[in-house]
Each structure stands twice: as structure tokens, then as C-alpha cells.
Amino acid sequence: MKIKFSFFKLIFLIIFLNSCTTTSPAKHEIYKSELFAVEKEFCVMAQSEGIQKAFLYFAADSSVILRGDRLVKGKQAIGLQYESLPAKGVKLEWTPDFADVSSSGDLGYTFGKYTFLKTDSMGHTIRNTGIFHTVWRRQPDGKWRFVWD
């Protein structure tokens, strides 16, 4: 009988601990809505205040971005990556099509379509479109910051 009693204690403990790390479906939807909103804020800031400022603001300190075939590691390096973009003649727009968040509410990802427009020295607009994928982590202060883009 003692073995069964210990077994049931163990099962109860596992269920209890698991319930502490998961969220209700309603809370999960709230987390997803937060992530959609943060992704949209990120895009709005890039358009209104500049790409470099937006990437620096929304990046976690240890963020990594993939540009071409090169990884840019860390917030400072990301700032340098966008430093050379001209203030005028460049526009980056994107819209998240999908977001999901871990059951603990501390890690999530988004993806969707982006458009990058750049006006060359002859006045021609160069258009680059594609799909973006961003991984987000909730920081100790509760704010979402991207860790991969």
C-alpha cells in the first residue's frame, strides 16, 4: 500500500507542477494577441522613426538577425547593420500573418510577408519582397523583445 500511496503522490506532484507552467486557452490567446500587437508596433516604429531605431528598440541584448548569408549577433552589431541605411528613400513594411506563443507565455514566434523599398541614385525604386520569421522572448520586465529575425 505504501508503494501505491507514493506513486499517487508522484502523479499528483507531476500534474500540479505541469499546471503551474501552462496557461488556459484564454490566456494563450491573450499572449498571441500581445505578440501580434508588438509585431505591428515594431513595423510602425520602423516606418515612422526609422529602421535602425526600431530594430534597436525591439531587439533583446543577445538578438541575432540573418541578413543574406551572414549572422549579425548582438544588439550593438544590429545597430551597426542598419547604421548605413539612408534616412530617405528606404521603406520597410511587414505584416504578421501568424503568431503563436509557448504555453508558459515567455517564448513566441511570428511570420508574414515583408516589402523592402529602396530608391537608387537614378530615382528608380527597387522592390524586394519575401517572408519574415521572428522569434520573441518575454523579458524580465514583461516586454516582448525579438531574439531572432
Q: Which domain holds residue 95?
A: 23-148
- pLDDT, one tens digit per residue, over 53-112 is 999 999 999 999 998 899 999 999 999 998 888 767 889 999 999 999 998 999 999 999
Q: What is the pTM of this model?
A: 0.80
The domain spanning residue 94 has which CATH number?
Answer: 3.10.450.50
Whether the CA torsion 106, 66, 95, 119 is positive or negative: it is: positive
> What is the rounded CA–CA span in Å between residue 58 and residue 126?
26
Decide if 14 is inside a domain: no
- pLDDT at residue 34, rounded to an integer: 94
Q: Is residue 46 part of a domain?
A: yes
At 25, the amino acid letter reads P
Cα–Cα distances in angstroms (integers) from residue 42 to residues 1, 59, 107, 134, 145, in the given order: 59, 10, 17, 11, 10
On average, the pLDDT of the chain sits at 86
For residue 44, how many C-alpha atoms fall within 13 Å in the half-sphere facing its CB? 6
